Amino acid sequence: MKPYYKDDIKECICTKLDHHFGVQPQNATMEQFYRATVMIVKDKLIEKQRKFLSNIRKNEEKTAYYMCMEFLIGRSLRNNLFNLGITEQFEDALEDLGCSLTDIFELEPDAGLGNGGLGRLAACFLESAATLGYPVNGYSIRYELGIFRQKIIEGWQTELPDLWLQGGEVWLSPRVDEAVTVNFDGQVIEDWSNGTHKVEHVNSNSVLAIPYDMMISGYDNTSVSVLRLWGATNLTFDMRLFNQGDYLRAVEQKAMAEVISKVLYPSDNHPEGKSLRLRQQYFLVSASVQDIIRKHRAQYGTLSNFSDKVVIHVNETHPALAIPELMRILLDDNNYTWEDAWNIVSKTFAYTNHTIMSEALEVWPEDIFKQRLPRIYQIVQEINSRFCKELLDRFHGDTNKVTQMAIISSGQVHMANLCLCSCYSINGVSKIHSEIIKNSLFKNYSDLYPSKFVNITNGFNYRRWLCQANPALCKFVAELIGSGYETKPYELEKLIQHLNNQDVLTRLAQIKRHNKERISDYILDHNHIKINPDSIFDVQVKRLHEYKRQLLNALHILYLYEKLKENPDMDFHPRTFIFGAKAAPGYHMAKRIIRLICCLADEINHDRRVSDKLKIVFLEDYRVTLAELLMPAAEISEQISLAGTEASGTGNMKLMINGAITLGTMDGANVEIYDAVGPDNILIFGLQTNEVEEMRKNGYYPSNYYNNPAIRRVIERLNTGIGGVIFQDIASSLIGGQNGKGDFYLVLADFDSYCRIHEEAENRYNNPTLWNKMSLVNIASAGVFAADRAVEEYSELIWKIHKIKDN
């Protein structure tokens, strides 16, 4: 790659400012400097991507297409400059022009394309694939307003539009020439004359899908992945209605089309929301599959080798409709027989499951599915019919088992069953998760198709979360073991040789203290709360969901608060509990838990009896950029989901590599963190998965735990009010109503164990040498969780793709 020099960059910036904004550097605004800088970086990435694509085509290499409803990208400028190795050159060039690169970084919004771990994982995989040189591209939707911008008003989450495109669209390259049409609704007319089957979709509502490309750079190499995002619109306009003065109806079709790509995960607790989500999913897959076929046909001129050159990865079931959509195109547009089309489809798709709880598996009401997607419904119906016939033969007429495995049953379309039936590979995302789906959740399928099932534990982009988010630690690690770990994550293990070096442990503590001061300054500026950098920073940041048990954390804090009020002089190391979480707009209980945390914070932080020992901070609008500031400062990583409910998690890995100690259950990837660091370097509590199953099987009565004085006290506080707000609904959800049932996620069953492990954490923290050793072991052991490792495994075990050599 041609080196970038400061003077070259200055010249490029001046040229961009002149050509695009008509200004000289001395008159340019910071926004114009930001856009000019992004344009230069994007031009470089496009140039690299074209060369990379040329090599893929020249070698006729198989390509993986990763479909996901979300890609949690975060900010791109700093990440791309780092990957290209030109951060310092841009910093110097901009400084000469009277501008600060740090200030420019702050102008970029987080791309509003994701929500949680699912989207962050997808983003990590694209970057790791590019770093390793694998041909992997992504498909998703260009959400105009993102997930939402969270505003906390009197403790209550309010959703505001996330206007990320105002500063984010500069990264996107529209390709209107490659737009495709997606059809909804209408009727299907079939013609069986002359021995052929012809299908016509009439009276449909057509939506135009316009692609926007975002370049995803690899680290220190020539490869670039492409994330293609689809925007929805409708180019028709009813001039007759407009001229009659009926302006709203004249633009109605366009507005209804554009709502598809307006918001990520619209609330679906009403029929209109369900219908919109279904339309979003089909819009994504139809546009993407059409695009993949166009590219393939342009190179090979045939679809007969499609599954030899293409693998489509379905990340969770949201893109599962790609399966019948490919069948539709092969059958209706290319005149394939059912058998020949199915032969291609069943060798093309791979599926990653991220769900353990059966009640969370995605299903669609059959009537909505049939109305919105009439031809796709017919195809799914036929897949189901043929599959059920096969199952009846295989299971000797066992209709109960066939019903459990059917794609369509009891008026619902089961998307996981569609994937399990159709995909050649099915994987879980942690060892325990993969065992659960094989032995419990999808046992019937696992017994039928054992060779389909494989485990690939999730990974994270360690270069972003260590090298970029924690530059002080990154520099120190390089001083100790060299910079080879930046491409070989397992080299972090070399840090273990410094475990008994007191100077190293002291420096590690100093770096942590520095990072705690950085987030403390942010909290003072944004939350107006002054926190003690010498307190224990206990962090729980993730989507707000009852199974993740932020409520358990809150009840423990309430328990500590009551103890401190009783005995303000008790031996107690000061603690700061930091939360960051968004609740789905329609998830009322999750919003109530956020309000409980905020009310608890308001009461505790203003109580002078305890405020020097106990503080709570709820970080509003938690996002990637905020996580990059917080995670290097964290000391305790709360990973406290009920055992058997979390598929994996990746936040635990990001916190681990920044030296935080995992305090959690034996759930998801916590199990593998335990294996990696050993029992002395992790804080484990709570019921095991088998104990949870046994307790539920024998009958769990949370009201029995009300006899525990500590539990009784915190429940009574919920009923009498915290911060002036009564939380009787939360108390009832724990203890249960008249039948005594409640506490589905066994918060009270794990409460005592949780309190004890926090006491153990405090004891260890009070021994700085011990704590810093634990921290160093966690950093040294994090390499196994790199996304690079996961992508290597996907490429070898599932996708069967090869690294592209630069010719």
Catalogue the active-site residues. Answer: 354, 542-543, 548, 650, 654
Q: What is the signed CA dihedral for 118, 119, 123, 128, rounded to 10 degrees?
A: 0
Strand partners, 232: 209
Sign of CA dihedral 690, 696, 702, 703: negative
Q: Residues 640, 404: contact at Cβ < 8 Å?
A: no
Using alpha carbons, list the distances in angstroms from residue 542 to 209, 239, 631, 690.
32, 48, 12, 25
Report which of 645, 580, 590 is spatially closest to residue 267, judged by C-alpha positions.
Answer: 590
Q: Which amino acid is at 220?
A: D
Report which of 299, 312, 314 is spatially closest to residue 61, judged by C-alpha positions.
Answer: 299
The two structure tokens encoding residue 300? 């090979």
- C-alpha 254, offset from chain centre: 30
- The H or E element containing residue 538 is strand 536-541
* Cβ count near 666 (within 10 Å): 18
Q: Which amino acid is at 435?
A: E
Q: Which amino acid is at 345?
A: V
Q: Residues 700, 743: contact at Cβ < 8 Å?
A: yes
Q: Which amino acid is at 261?
A: S
SS3 state of residue 499: coil
Rounded-to-integer distance, Cα 450 and Cα 22, Å: 64
User: b/e for 46-58, b at 16 or more Cβ within 10 A?
Assistant: eebbeebbebbee
Rounded-to-integer distance, Cα 433 and Cα 671, Å: 10
Q: Residues 372, 201: contact at Cβ < 8 Å?
A: no
In the block, which residue shows the tokens 């079931």?
A: 317
In the block, which residue shows the tokens 């569609």?
A: 418
In the block, which residue shows the tokens 């400097």?
A: 33
